[in-house]
């Protein structure tokens, strides 16, 4: 079974600075998807960024980028130019690439609570 570990329960960053959230995972599969979800205080969880394991290039979405290290099974999220609206719980999640059986399941980490200080 796959597991996802987020070793930082809480992080803080000054507005306009950069912060990196860590995520490691364990899997025996070679193809899979990785996701970062954001859950603001209003509670609606939204997808921030995703990475297909077969792609070597790190995904980027505006101020959000990932550092995907497949061999190390590491998937960190970098937030540049942090804004007050970035304050939220961030979840790392894993999903198998293949659609059969129970592979549609998302396996989540416990989350990292990010505080942005003005």
Partner 1 sequence: ETGVTQTPRHLVMGMTNKKSLKCEQHLGHNAMYWYKQSAKKPLELMFVYNFKEQTENNSVPSRFSPECPNSSHLFLHLHTLQPEDSALYLCASSQDFSGGLFEQYFGPGTRLTVT
Residues near partner 1 (CB under 8 A) are 4, 9, 33, 37, 42-47, 50, 91, 99, 102, 104-111
Angle, vertex CA 72, rays to CA 37 and CA 57, nearest 5 = 65
Distance in Å, CB of 16 to partner 1, minimum: 29
* Nearer of residues 82 and 94 to partner 1, judged by Cβ: 94
Q: Least distance in Å: CB of 95 to partner 1? A: 9
Distance CA 36, CA 51 (A): 9
* Rounded alpha-carbon distances, angstroms, from residue 1 to 38, 55, 73: 24, 23, 15
How far apart are CB 45 and partner 1 at their closest, in Å? 4
């Amino acid at each position: 079974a796959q597991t996802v570990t987020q070793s930082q329960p809480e992080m803080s960053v000054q507005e306009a600075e950069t912060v990196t959230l860590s995520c490691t995972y364990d899997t025996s599969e070679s193809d899979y998807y990785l996701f970062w979800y954001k859950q603001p205080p209003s509670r609606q969880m939204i997808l921030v960024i995703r990475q297909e394991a077969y792609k070597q290039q790190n995904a980027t979405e505006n101020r959000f980028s990932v550092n995907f290290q497949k061999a190390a099974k590491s998937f960190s999220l970098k937030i540049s130019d942090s804004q007050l609206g970035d304050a939220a719980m961030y979840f790392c999640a894993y999903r198998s690439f293949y659609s059969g059986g129970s592979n549609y399941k998302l396996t989540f980490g416990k989350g990292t609570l990010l505080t942005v200080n003005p």
